[in-house]
Amino acid sequence: MEGQKKAGSASETTLDRQVLHAAPHKGASETLSVVPGVFVTQHGGQGKAHQIFLRGFDAQHGQDVEIWAGGAPVNEVSNLHGQGYADMHFIIPEVIERVRALPGTYDVTQGDFAVAGSLGFDLGYDEPGFTVSTSIGSFFERRLFMAYHPPSFDDETFAAVEAEATNGFGPSRAARHASAIGQIGFDVGQTLHVRLMASFYAARFDSAGVLPLAKVESGAIDPFETLDPNQGGDSMRVQVVGEVRQYGEDTKDRYRFSPFFVARDLKLRHNFTGFLVDPTNGDGTQQTNSAKTVGAVGSYSRRFDWLSPRDEVEIGVFARSDWIDQAQVRLSPIDDRVTEQLVDAEVRATNLAGWVQAEVTALRRIRMRAGLRADGLFFAALDKVREAAGAERSSMGFHLGPKATVDVMIVPGLNALASFGMGFRSPQARSLGNGETTPFTEVLSFEGGARYALGPELAVKAAAFHTRLSNDLVFDEVVARNEPVGPTARTGGVLEVSARPVPWLVSATSVTYTHAAFTEDDGEHAAGDLLPYAPQLVARSDLGVQPKLTTLLDRALVLKAGTGLSFVGMRPLPFGEMGHDIFLVDATLGLRWKEIEAKVDVFNLLNARWYDGEFTYASNFERGASPSLVAQRHVTVGYPITVMGTVSGYL
């Protein structure tokens, strides 16, 4: 989804640094909560990829949301823990320049995993010179951030490093990570721009796992306890990106070419069911996934004076290849020995895509955009611990996705838009048979709405949407990932209001409602049943102020304050149950006196008891006990009130 164009749908939005940092966030992933319809949770430890909810989709760790950062894809193809696994911990929050959100499937640049939509991080740092920040907070959380931005360069050029450690808010919640990002952008001649970017990341974390809700509410188990202290994992990522693009308002022809390379390693250890499957050795599972990814994005566009001087045609290409090694074993809770080898596989995957798109403006008021994207996907899997082990299976398939948008200017500042798009999600490579035509999840999406803008002071967006999937995915506790279910549909609406009445104040509020249900009987679910785990109501409100208070010794004293409110309601669970609502308040308060800044961030200000994960299934956490197959609710407990103090110096 790289590149920036005019809005392709009523709900498309770009959030800049002022909005993203109005309220405090625990990490880069949490900044996505500012995007209308998005809510993220961290139920697997402070290092595992976040669970993402968007427009009635429980995208788990990324299966339904296409994510890019700094010019490279974040989603991992055929990751053993979950298709589209997207770990964003390597992104340092301070260097997020903007977040671009494309809900739906209405843009030709959107490819695999763009089911609920696409999200993109643009990176940059705006503080000139050196920055050094140190933080300490609750549960002995420590953080160091350092950055350098050459004053003579644009914000695009910077180098930053982050190191963080915490003991966690209970047993088995300790975590440590470090990240470094460097980027440089420079012009060559009058119209050519070059960008180079590299990042490195490593993390080690523990996970408390799930608890039976009945025992938590009865007081039999402390809410912050763990039933298996051997859960957690580690994660590494290396990313290198290059970009060459032609720019300029007077340039008739424009092109862009951007190659990327990503190396990823992930190890996860979890136990959702205790001793249900294996009453003696337990169900503790370890997954490892190592991947190398290489690819490129390119596009060429030309302006034509057909119906208006702004008419344009674009063609583009995308290429990506992945080489993956993955394994899954069951481990003894006593001595960590392997009790069963579940997966040992090698996977190869290649995605080649091309698109063409035309945009014309008629009668000065009507902008029409139509395009077609074609994707070819190849998969090969070599399983070593299953029937016919040693025989590599390969498959290939093609997908055509038309896209269209009509944008009508009602009056200056007020536009009505209607959008249509077809997208797809690729399957797990190991699920395919030899010679099989790759069975994609087909996505059909519609949206209609309006956008109103009164300069930078006020912006209002409202839209209604409908999305249909040929098949869907729902969480399966035995394999700890989403598994296929029947076709589904989502219908809903979103309202977003943002205001900047004065330069030092910003506010952004959004409300999204989605009804997600099965459209056919699939043996386990009846038509009309609500889709489990996907919240129906997501609301978010951010407010930030940075007024100048006075002048001391010829230096401005600036107040920095902000709040972020999140609400998630009506989360369906299996068997017709509803999950608990979530209401969280975060706040920040600080002062900056030119070179010195001090602030305090408070997360979960009201100290609300909340569950960042809720699941319904059978389990048995007593070794040797006769297991019950009766499904019960399980939860992972969200963080309590957390305070973080930070002192920064700008040199």
Q: Averaged in consecutive runs of 10 residues, what is the pLDDT profile of the chain (651 residues)?
A: 66 95 95 95 86 90 94 96 94 97 96 95 97 98 98 96 96 96 94 96 95 92 92 97 85 92 96 89 93 98 90 97 96 88 95 97 93 96 78 92 97 96 92 83 96 92 96 68 82 97 96 95 86 93 96 93 96 89 97 96 97 89 82 92 98 92
Can you spell out the DSSP letters for 195-245? EEEEEEEEEEEE----EEHHHHHHTSS-TT--S-TT-EEEEEEEEEEEEEE
What is the per-residue pLDDT for 3? 44
Structure tokens at 645: 């103090």
Spell out the domains of the chain, with CATH numbers in brackets.
13-427+439-650 (2.40.170.20)
Beta-carbon contacts of 589 under 8 Å, excluding residues fewer than 6 positions away, are 560, 561, 599, 600
Contact 596, 649 (CB under 8 A): yes
- CA-wise closest residue to 297 among 318, 326, 269: 318
Give the per-residue pLDDT at 280. 85
* CA-wise closest residue to 584 among 538, 649, 645: 538
* HEC sequence for 564-620: EEEEEECCECHHHCECCCEEEEEEEEEEEECCEEEEEEEECCCCCCCEEEEEEECCE
- Residue 67 half-sphere exposure toward CB, CA atoms < 13 A: 27
Question: How far apart (Å, rounded) are the C-alpha atoms in residues 604 and 586?
Answer: 5
Exposure string over 105-124, b if 16+ CB within 10 A, otherwise e: bbbbbbbbbbbbbbbbbbbb
pLDDT of residue 435: 83
pLDDT value for 346: 95
Whole-angstrom distance, CA of residue 130 vs CA of residue 158: 10
The span from the CA of 440 to the CA of 398, in Å, is: 9
Helix (H), strand (E), coil (C) string for 531-553: CCCCCCEEEEEEEEECCEEEEEC
Give the pLDDT of residue 70.
Answer: 96
pLDDT at 576: 84
- Predicted confidence at residue 476, as pLDDT, reads 64
